[in-house]
Amino acid sequence: LAGYISQVLKNYTDHACDGEYVSLRCPHRTTISIQSSFYGRIVPSHQMCPSRYPHSYATLIKEDVACSVGTSLQKMLDECQDRRSCQFLVNSRLFGADPCPGTGKYLIVWYKCRPNEYKSKVACEDDKLRLSCKKSMVIAIFSAIFGRTQGDGLECPYQTLGMPMIECQSATALQLMIKRCHGKRSCSIYASTHEFGDPCYPGIRKHLNVIYTCGRSATFYPLDNTPFLLPVDETGPPALNSSMEPVGVSTEMALLSNILAAYAFIT
């Protein structure tokens, strides 16, 4: 169980250049949960995915390094979400119109492995959320959202007064829930702006949604506290290992996550 939980709670990264296969895999009893995706190029080819053909320096300096598509996240959701594994060949035709013809591009995907058996709890703003596991089992936090999302159902309804639905999420909800509850048999926290800050416009009622599972040992996984990526599409690449196998979150990845969280909060 310890090895299983450690794989479940990791962040995974995979990448592939144009003309290569991207391959996402999760362990038994889990499925892929896409967190974020990027397709395009924002660094020179000598830093990532060099061209297969010789280029002169004059050609390299004309390379488009501000190139991205807005459909990569949806494409990854269509191809891989809720599957145990997926694999496909990366090329610009997959993502619609080529944003920068003549420039070699690459795909980067960030994902997690969602347990097939997990618990989900929701608390409306200013209510108390309580999590608990059976005797001899402890909490492992998988995800946490405080705010409002487009996919909200009937939980915690509120009057919009004619205002359009706007997504807003706390950038620190996951880290706070990990700190309060990870490795404990039970815990409680108020779904309040005092705890999580206020990521939304004034007057918007928020809620706390937590997904977690239970493990049998209080020391089953020394969880790192690096934040997970928010599901936004226009993301830049962290430093990547040469291996195409999923890897844990690096320092660079954590920094990128913080940048994205700040961007989402400001937006």
pLDDT per residue as tens digits for the range 200-216: 888 788 899 998 888 77
Domains 4-115 and 119-219 agree in fold:
yes
Average pLDDT for the chain: 75
Task: State the pLDDT at residue 264.
Answer: 45
Candidates 3.20.10.10, 3.40.50.970, 2.60.120.740, 3.90.79.10; CATH matching 119-219 = 2.60.120.740
Encode 88-127: b = buried (16+ Cβ within 10 Å), e = exposed. bebebebbeeebbeebbbbbbbbbbbbbeeeeeebbebee
Task: State the pLDDT at residue 228.
Answer: 38
CA 39, CA 47: separation in Å to the nearest integer? 16
Least confident segment among 20-24, 103-107, 146-150, 178-182 = 146-150
Domain parsing of the chain, residue ranges: 4-115, 119-219
Q: Which two tokens stand for residue 153?
A: 């159902």
Indicate whether this model's pTM tops 0.95. Answer: no
**Which is the CATH superfamily of the domain at 4-115?**
Rhamnose-binding lectin domain (RBL) (2.60.120.740)
Task: State the pLDDT at residue 52.
Answer: 65
- Contact predicate 176/195, CB 8 Å: yes
